[in-house]
Structure 1
C-alpha cells in the first residue's frame, strides 16, 4: 500500500527518532532529511534540526538544500561568517538558486545593511517561482528601515500574489495605521474584501479602522460580517463588544463578550469589559463579581485591579479600595498607576505619611504630573517637613518652570523657613504670572499671608504707585 505524503513524512520522522534512540544508522534519501529538518525548524527544535542536517550531509554531501538549511541555522545562531563562507561556495555551484540570494540578504539584514538586503532580494525576485515570499521579505526590510510607504507597497504586492497571506495583510494594515492613513486603509480593505469576501480577519481590520475614525455603526457592521465569516472568531466578538459599549448598548456588549467565554478559555479582558458594562448599567453586584473574576484569572492585568479599586474609591469605600490596591502593588510594585491610587486613597483616609510615600514612588517611576508634585508637596507641608517640601517643589519647577501654583507654595515655604528674600522672589513671580491664585498662600500658609512684608508686596502689586 502506498503512503500519502503526510504519512510518509511521519514515517520518516518516526524512523529518524528511533535511529537516534537506538544509536543505529539508517539510510534516508535527501528529500526525507529535508522534510525532517523542516519539521524540526518549524517546531523550534534547533538542536534536532542540526543533528538531522549533520547526518543528512554525511549521507548526501552534495545536497544543496541541506547545506542551505545548515546556513539558515548558522544565521539563526549569529554565526554569520560561517554562513557567508558556505554561501559563497554554493553561489559558485548554483547561480540561479533564489534561496542563496535570500540567505545572503538575511545576513546583510542581521548586520543592519537593509539596503543591500533589498538589492539581493530583488535578484531573488527575478528568478523565484514563489514571488509572494520574496515580496514579503522585502516588505520586512523596508519596515526595518522605517520606510513604511515602501513596506506597504511590497506587502500589497505580496497579497496580489497570495490573497490568503494573512501575515502580509496584518503588515499592510500596520503600515496604514502607522502612517495614520485610516481612510486609505478602509479603501484597500474594501477592495481586498471584494476578492475575498469571507475573510474574517479583513472584516475585523476594517471594523478597527472605522472604530479609529469613530464611525461606530460602520465598525459594528464590519464586525458582524467577521462573525458571519467565522462564528467562532473570538477577536470579532471582543471588538464588537467594545463598539457596543461606545454606543452605550451595554446589554448587547455583555452578550457579545459572554459568547467568547464559551468559545475558549475565559479571558481576563472579557471579564473586565463585562464588569465595566454592568457598572454602567448600575448593577454593582454583578460588576464586582466580574472584576473579581478578572483579577483571579490574571493577576498581572493592571486594568482589572484598577477597575475594582476605582469602583470602591468612587463609592467611598476607601478601606476596601486600599485593600485591593495593596494586593496589586504586592504583585507589581513598579506600576505607576497603582502607586497614584495608593497615594490618593491614603490621602482620603488621612494616612498622610503613606500618601506621601505613594506620590514619591509614582514620581520616582516617572509620573511627573503636576498634581502629583503639588499634592506630595502639600502633604509634606502639612507634616511640617518644610525642607523636603521645598526640594519637591524645586524639582517640580524643572518640569513646570514659572508655574504660579508651585511658586506660591515655594514662597510660603521660604517665608516659613525665614528665608525672606527667596520668599519675596517667588511671591512676586507668582503675582506677576497668576494673581488669581493668591488664595494658595492664604489657605496653605495663613500665618505667612498675615505677615506685614507679604501684605506690602501684595498691596504694591495691586497698586504699583504705592
Structure 2
C-alpha cells in the first residue's frame, strides 16, 4: 500500500510514540527521525525532540542532519561549548554544508559576537540554495548591532527574493522608523506597491508613516486601500479609526472600530476608543457602556480603568471615581497611574490621610514629578505632620534643587516647628529665587506670614537697592 507523505509522517510519529510507551525498540531511517524531530520542535515539545534526536543518533551515529539537530538543542539550552564542539567536527567532514556555517553563526550570535556571526553567514551565502533565509539572518545580526542601515539593506535583499516575506517588510520599516526616515520609507513602500498594488501590509505601513508625519488625510487614504486589499484586515480598521479621531470625525471612527468587533473577538483597544469617541460626542451613556465593556474584556488594561475614573472625576462625581480606582488598585497594586488618581480623588473628598497614602505610594513607585511632592507636602501640612512634610521636601529638593516652591514650604514648616534660624535661611533662599511666590507662605501658613520678622524679610527683599 502506498502512503502519501502526510500519512507516512503520521505513521512514523505514531510508531515512535508507541515505541516510547512500550519500551520496544523500532528502527527508523534517518529521514524519519528528522521529520519526527521537526514535528516536535514546531509544536514546542523540546523534551520529545531531544529524546528523538538521541535515539536517532544511536541508530544513525554518522547522520549530519541529526547531529545538526543535536547542535540546535544545545544552543536552545545555551550549551554553546557543546554545540561548537560538534560543529567543529562536522566542519572537518563537510566544509560545503551551509547549515554548519549557519549554526556556528548562531553560536557566535548567542555570545554577542555578531561580527563573527556575519562573517560566517557571508560564507553560507556563497554556497546556499536558499539565499533569503541567510539574508534574513544577516539582517537580524545587524539589528542586534543596531546597525540599521546594513540591516535594512539585507532585509530589502530578502524581500527582493520573496515579495511575500512580510516579516522582512516589517523589519525594513522598523529600520526606517528607527532612523526617522519616514519620507524615505514612504518612497520605498510606494515602489513596492507599484509592483504589488494589492499588498494590504504595505498600504498599512504607508498609512502608519503618514500618521507619524501628521498627514492624516494621506494616512486615511492609505488605510482605505489596505481595507480594499483585505476587507478583514483588523489592523487597518483600527489605524483608520485613530486617524478619524485625529480629524475629529468621531462617528466615522466609531464605525471603523465597530467593524473590528464583528471580524474577531472584541479587542479592549477598540472598545476603549469607541468609548472615547462617544465621550467626545457627549453621548455619556454609551461612553460608559464601552468603558465598562473594555475593562470586562481586559481587566489588566489600565487605560480602561483610567478612562472610567477620569470620566467620573470630570463630572465631579468623586465617590464613583474613587469606587472605580479602588477596583483598579485591587487588580494592580503597583500601577503608579492608579495611585496618583487615588490621591487626587481623596484630596477632593477631603480624605487627607488616604490622599497622603496615595501620594506616598505614587512616589514609592517612582513618580517624582514636582506636583506629586508638593501635593503630598500640602496634605501633610493639613494633617499637622510637619516633620514628615520637611522630610518629603528635602527628598524633593534632591530632584529639584533651588526651587522656590520647595523653599517657601520649608521656611513655613520650620517656623511651625519654632526653628527660626532654618526657617529664615529657607525664606531668604526662596525670596532670592522668586519673590512672586511669597503668597505660598500666606496661603499655607497665614500665622507665619503675619509674623513681624517674616514681613520684615519680605519687605527688605522688595526694597530697591541704592
5+ long unaligned stretches in structure 2 = none
Structure 1 residue 405: deviation in Å?
Answer: 1.1
Aligned residue number for residue 294 of structure 1? 294
Distance, in Å, in 2 between the alignment partners of 1:77 and 1:7 is 32
Matches within 5 A, 1:68-107: 68-107=68-107
Give the unaligned 5+ runs of structure 1. Answer: none
Counting only pairs closer than 5 Å after superposition, residues 125-136 of structure 1 correspond to structure 2 as: 125-136=125-136
Q: Deviations over 1:387-444 (max 9, x none)?
A: 1111111111111111111111111111221222222222222222212111111111
Matches within 5 A, 1:28-427: 28-427=28-427
Deviates more, 1:113-122 or 1:147-156: 147-156
Separation of aligned partners in 2, 1:414 and 1:237 = 59
Q: Give the deviation of 1:152 after TM superposition.
A: 1.6
Q: SS of 1:225's equivalent?
A: helix
> Equivalents in 2 of 1:4, 1:205: separation in Å?
41
How big is the shift at 1:32? Answer: 2.2
Give the drift of 1:157. 1.6
Provide, for residues 273-307 of structure 1, a one-character-per-residue CA deviation record: whole Å limited to 9, x for no partner: 11111111111111111111111111100000000
Instruction: Tell me the C-alpha RMSD between the 2 structures.
Output: 1.5
Moved more, 275-284 or 424-433: 424-433
Task: Give TM-score, length-normalised by structure 1.
Answer: 0.97
Shift in Å, 1:23: 3.3
CA distance in 2, matches of 1:439, 1:2: 95
CA-to-aligned-CA distance 1:234-268 (integer Å, 9 cap, x gap): 11111111111111111111111111111111111
| 37-46 or 340-349, larger mean C-alpha shift | 37-46
Residue range with higher mean Cα deviation, 243-252 or 345-354 = 243-252
Taking the aligned partners of 1:447 and 1:301, their CA distance within structure 2 comes to 47
Tell me how far 1:2 sits from its aligned partner. 4.5
Looking at structure 1, the residues matched to 8 and 205 of structure 2 have their Cα atoms a distance apart, in angstroms, of 39
Moved >6 Å (runs of 4+): none
CA distance in 1, matches of 2:362, 2:192: 47
SS of aligned partner of 2:198: coil
Q: CA–CA distance in 1 between the matches of 2:18 and 2:178?
A: 50
Residue in 1 aligned with 2:437? 437
How far is the alpha carbon of 1:50 from its aligned partner?
Answer: 1.3
What SS is found at the alignment partner of 2:384?
A: coil
Cα shift readout 1:343-398 (whole Å, capped 9, x = no counterpart): 00000000001000000100111111111011100000111111111111111111
| Residue 5 of structure 1: how far off its partner (Å) | 3.2
Determine the C-alpha separation between the residues in 2 that align with 1:280 and 1:350: 30
Question: 1:196/1:16 Cα in 2 relative to 1: closer, same or farther (>3 Å)?
Answer: farther
Give how far 1:63 is off: 1.5
User: CA–CA distance in 2 between the matches of 1:465 and 1:264?
Assistant: 74
Q: Alpha-carbon deviation of 1:327?
A: 0.5
**In 2, Cα distance between the equivalents of 1:262 and 1:2?**
45
- Aligned residue pairs total 466
Deviation (angstroms), 1:8 = 3.2
Give TM-score scaled by structure 2 length: 0.97
CA distance in structure 2 between the partners assigned to 1:457 and 1:358 by the alignment: 36
CA distance in 2, matches of 1:16, 1:257: 49
